[in-house]
Amino acid sequence: MQIFDLIFDRTAGDVSRGTDKGFYRHGDLNRVRAAVLDLRERLSAAGYLLPPVSPLTEWHENDVPRRSGIEELLRAVRLFDGIFAGVRPSSGFPASADSLDWRGANAVEEFLYRLGRTEEAVEDGWAYCGEVNAGEVY
């Protein structure tokens, strides 16, 4: 499951020290893309009606991230807002690709993580019954 590979513990120190978490590269963008696609598939299979999204860019190592591709990805993430009550993007969620810093990256990935955990909890709460158990008194 893609959701639990998400990273949302970046710090200003990661940026100043130049650690892997301090930069948003192709692998990070693809991780978010995969989480969006995974969540869309799981929620659609569970009967949630989701607005369509344009195909999301798959990033490669030597790609220069384009604003349009990042905006497209942020738009796809924002479409999940309101699916579950109480699971909303934080105030740090980037308004645009221009405001995507380490805090924004944390907000995007944490929102997707919380959605994934909530979807799992909802699914775990479903009651199943078969012919043998239907109508029985416990």
Per residue in 31-46, pLDDT tens? 999 999 999 999 999 8
Confidence of residue 2 (pLDDT cuts 50, 70, 90): low
Give the span between the Cα atoms of 30 and 27, in whole angstroms: 5
- The pLDDT value recorded for residue 138 is 57
Sole residue written with tokens 């999301």: 56
Largest pairwise CA distance in the chain: 63
Give the span between the Cα atoms of 105 and 37, in whole angstroms: 18
CA 33, 93, 82, 52 dihedral sign is negative
pTM of the full predicted structure? 0.86
Domain boundaries, the chain: 2-124
pLDDT at 1 over 90: no
Q: Which two tokens stand for residue 26?
A: 């192709």
- The pLDDT value recorded for residue 133 is 58
pLDDT at 3 over 80: no
pLDDT tens, residue by residue, 49-103: 998 888 888 999 998 888 999 999 999 999 999 999 889 998 889 999 999 999 9
Q: ∠ at Cα 84 (31, 71), nearest 5°?
A: 40
